[in-house]
C-alpha cells in the first residue's frame, strides 16, 4: 500500500484518487530549478508554529541527505501553497518515513507508516479552496454581465476559462475572499492581482469579435476555420512542421468539426483565433494544438496517447477541482517526457502503465460526473 503522510492528505483536500508516480525506472533529467534550500523555505509554510525558520533548515537538510528527486523539487517550486501536498507523492517510501520521523522530532508526536497520527499535536496543513468555488458565477465579476444580455452564456463561459487560468496563481486568502464575496463590490478587494480586470476585458473583447464573425456564415464553415487554425501561417515557428503531420491535423479537425456538429459560437471563436478557450467554453477538450493533442505531448504510443486524450478531457471538466486537474496534467507530462527520451523499440514497456493510469483517471473523473 502506498504510504502517504497526514500533511499530504490534508493538503490535497480530497479523498478521490490522485495520480500515481511513473511506473518506470527511467530517471527524468529535469533541468535544475528549485534547490533544497528553496524547498525548505516553501515547505516550512505548511507549519504554523514559531519555528518556521528552523523548520526550513531541517527540511533543506533532509532534502539533501535523502536526495529528493528533481521532479519533486520542480513540483515544490511550481505549485501554489495549497497544492504542495501533491508533491509528496514523488517521495520514495524511505523518504516518506524519514519525513514522518522528522515531524515526530518536531512535535513529540508519533505517526504510523500510513501517515495517521498516534498522539501529540498535528501540524497544520495548508487549507484548500478550489477555483470553481472561488470563481462561482463568472458573470458577477466587474463589469457584471447582465441577465438580459443576449450573449450572456458565451460571455460567462469565456470568462470562466480566463479566470480559471488566473486562479492557478491566487493564494488561499484570495480564493477564500472570493468565495465569501456576495456582491460585486466585495469582489474588488479580493483581486490583489491587478491583471485580472485586464484578463476579463480581453475575454469580453474576444466575445464581441466572436459575435461579429458569427454573422458571416461563410467564414465559419468547418473548412474555413480549419484553414485559419491550421493554415500555413499558423505553423510557423511550431516544432511540428512535417507535411504529413500538418495534413493529418487538418483532416482530424475537419472531421471532428463535422461529426461533432461544432456550434456557431465555437466555429466563430476559432475563426477569430480565440485559442484553447474556444473549446473549453464549448465544453470540449482543447485538443487542437500543433500537432493536435490538447497542448499535451504526443508519445506515438497509442495507449499513452489515448491516456493523453482522457487527460485533456479532464482538464476542461469544471466540476473537478482545478488543483487536482493540474496534478493529473503534470503526471501525464512526466509520462510523456520519460517515453520520448527512450529509444522507440523500448517504449512499449509503458503500454500497461498508461492503461492503468488512464483507468485511474477515468474512475476519478466519474466521481465528478466528467465525460
Q: What is the pLDDT of residues 274-289, one digit of tens each?
A: 998 898 888 877 778 8
Q: How many domains is the chain built from? A: 2
pLDDT band at 262 (very low <50, low <70, confident <90, very high): very high
pLDDT at position 257 is: 95
Listed residues 61, 87, 119: the one ending a domain: 119
Examine residue 200 and state whether it is found in any structural domain, yes or no: no
Examine residue 115 and state whether it is found in any structural domain, yes or no: yes
Q: What's the whole-number mean pLDDT along residues 118-126? A: 44
Examine residue 317 and state whether it is found in any structural domain, yes or no: yes
pLDDT at position 120 is: 41
Domain that holds residue 95: 6-119
Listed residues 74, 96, 119: the one ending a domain: 119
SS3 labels along the chain: CCCCCHHHHHHHCCCCCCCCCCCCCCCCCCCCCCCHHHHHHHHHHHCCCCCHHHHHHHHHHHHHHCCCCHHHHHHHHHCCHHHHHHHHHHCCHHHHHHHHHHHHHHHCCEECCCCCEEECCCCCCCCCCCHHHHHCCHHHCCCCCCCCCCCHHHHHHHHHHHHHHHHCCCCHHHHHHHHHCCCHHHHHHHCCCCHHHHHHHHHHHHHHHHHHHHCCHHHCCHHHHHHHHCCHHHHCCCCCCCHHHHHHHHHHHHHHHHHCCCCHHHHHHHHCCCCCHHHHHCCCCCCCCCCCCCCCCCCCCHHHHHHHHHHHHHHCCCCCCHHHHHHHHHHHHHHHHHHHCCCHHHHHHHHHHHHHHHHHHHHHHHHCCCC
Instruction: Say if residue 273's pLDDT is above 90.
Output: yes
pLDDT band at 127 (very low <50, low <70, confident <90, very high): low
Listed residues 96, 119, 142: the one ending a domain: 119
Q: Which of 178, 206, 203 is nearest to 192 (CA)?
A: 178
pLDDT at position 11 is: 37
Q: What is the pLDDT of residues 73-117, one digit of tens each?
A: 888 888 766 566 667 777 786 777 777 777 767 755 443 333 334
Cβ 153 vs Cβ 180: under 8 Å? no
Mean per-residue pLDDT over the chain, rounded: 78
Examine residue 37 and state whether it is found in any structural domain, yes or no: yes
Choose between 297 and 134: higher pLDDT: 134
Examine residue 245 and state whether it is found in any structural domain, yes or no: no
Q: What's the whole-number mean pLDDT along residues 146-163? A: 90
pLDDT at position 297 is: 73
pLDDT at position 84 is: 67
Examine residue 340 and state whether it is found in any structural domain, yes or no: yes
pLDDT band at 8 (very low <50, low <70, confident <90, very high): very low
Examine residue 272 and state whether it is found in any structural domain, yes or no: no
Among 17-26, 54-63, 219-228, the range with the most confident prediction by mean pLDDT is 219-228
Instruction: Say if residue 253's pLDDT is above 90.
Output: yes
Q: What is the pLDDT of residues 45-74, one digit of tens each?
A: 776 555 678 888 889 999 999 899 888 888
Choose between 81 and 167: higher pLDDT: 167
Choose between 306 and 28: higher pLDDT: 306
Examine residue 366 and state whether it is found in any structural domain, yes or no: yes
pTM of the model: 0.53
Q: What are the angstrom distances between the C-alpha of 76 and each of 66, 129, 339?
A: 16, 19, 23
pLDDT at position 192 is: 77
Instruction: Say if residue 351's pLDDT is above 90.
Output: no
Q: What's the whole-number mean pLDDT along residues 8-37? A: 48
Amino acid at each position: 500500500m502506498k504510504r502517504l503522510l497526514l500533511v499530504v492528505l490534508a493538503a490535497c483536500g480530497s479523498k478521490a484518487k490522485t495520480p500515481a508516480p511513473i511506473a518506470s525506472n527511467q530517471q527524468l533529467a529535469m533541468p535544475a530549478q528549485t534547490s533544497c534550500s528553496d524547498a525548505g523555505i516553501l515547505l516550512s509554510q505548511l507549519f504554523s508554529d514559531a519555528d518556521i525558520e528552523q523548520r526550513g533548515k531541517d527540511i533543506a537538510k533532509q532534502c539533501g541527505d535523502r536526495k529528493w528527486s528533481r521532479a519533486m523539487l520542480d513540483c515544490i517550486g511550481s505549485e501554489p501553497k495549497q497544492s504542495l501536498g501533491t508533491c509528496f507523492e514523488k517521495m520514495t517510501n524511505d523518504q516518506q518515513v524519514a519525513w514522518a520521523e522528522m515531524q515526530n522530532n518536531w512535535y513529540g508526536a508519533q505517526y504510523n507508516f500510513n501517515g495517521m497520527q498516534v498522539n501529540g499535536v498535528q501540524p497544520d496543513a495548508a487549507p484548500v479552496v478550489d477555483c470553481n468555488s472561488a470563481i462561482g458565477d463568472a458573470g458577477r465579476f466587474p463589469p457584471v454581465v447582465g441577465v438580459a444580455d443576449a450573449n450572456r452564456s458565451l460571455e460567462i463561459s469565456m470568462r470562466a476559462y480566463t479566470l480559471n487560468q488566473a486562479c492557478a496563481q491566487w493564494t488561499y486568502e484570495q480564493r477564500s475572499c472570493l468565495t465569501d464575496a456576495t456582491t460585486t463590490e466585495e469582489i474588488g478587494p479580493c483581486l490583489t492581482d491587478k491583471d485580472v480586470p485586464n484578463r476579463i476585458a480581453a475575454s469580453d473583447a474576444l466575445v464581441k469579435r466572436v459575435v461579429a464573425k458569427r454573422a458571416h456564415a461563410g467564414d465559419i464553415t468547418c473548412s474555413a476555420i480549419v484553414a485559419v487554425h491550421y493554415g500555413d501561417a499558423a505553423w510557423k515557428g511550431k516544432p511540428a512542421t512535417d507535411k504529413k503531420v500538418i495534413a493529418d491535423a487538418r483532416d482530424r479537425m475537419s472531421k471532428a468539426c463535422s461529426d461533432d456538429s461544432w456550434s456557431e459560437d465555437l466555429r466563430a471563436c476559432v475563426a477569430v483565433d480565440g485559442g484553447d478557450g474556444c473549446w473549453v467554453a464549448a465544453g470540449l477538450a482543447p485538443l487542437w494544438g500543433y500537432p493536435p493533442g490538447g497542448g499535451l505531448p504526443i508519445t506515438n504510443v497509442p495507449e499513452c496517447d489515448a491516456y493523453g486524450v482522457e487527460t485533456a478531457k479532464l482538464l476542461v471538466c469544471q466540476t473537478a477541482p482545478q488543483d487536482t486537474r493540474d496534478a493529473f496534467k503534470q503526471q501525464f507530462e512526466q509520462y510523456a517526457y520519460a517515453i520520448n527520451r527512450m529509444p522507440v523499440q523500448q517504449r512499449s514497456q509503458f503500454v500497461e502503465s498508461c492503461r492503468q493510469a488512464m483507468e485511474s483517471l477515468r474512475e476519478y473523473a466519474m466521481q465528478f460526473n466528467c465525460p
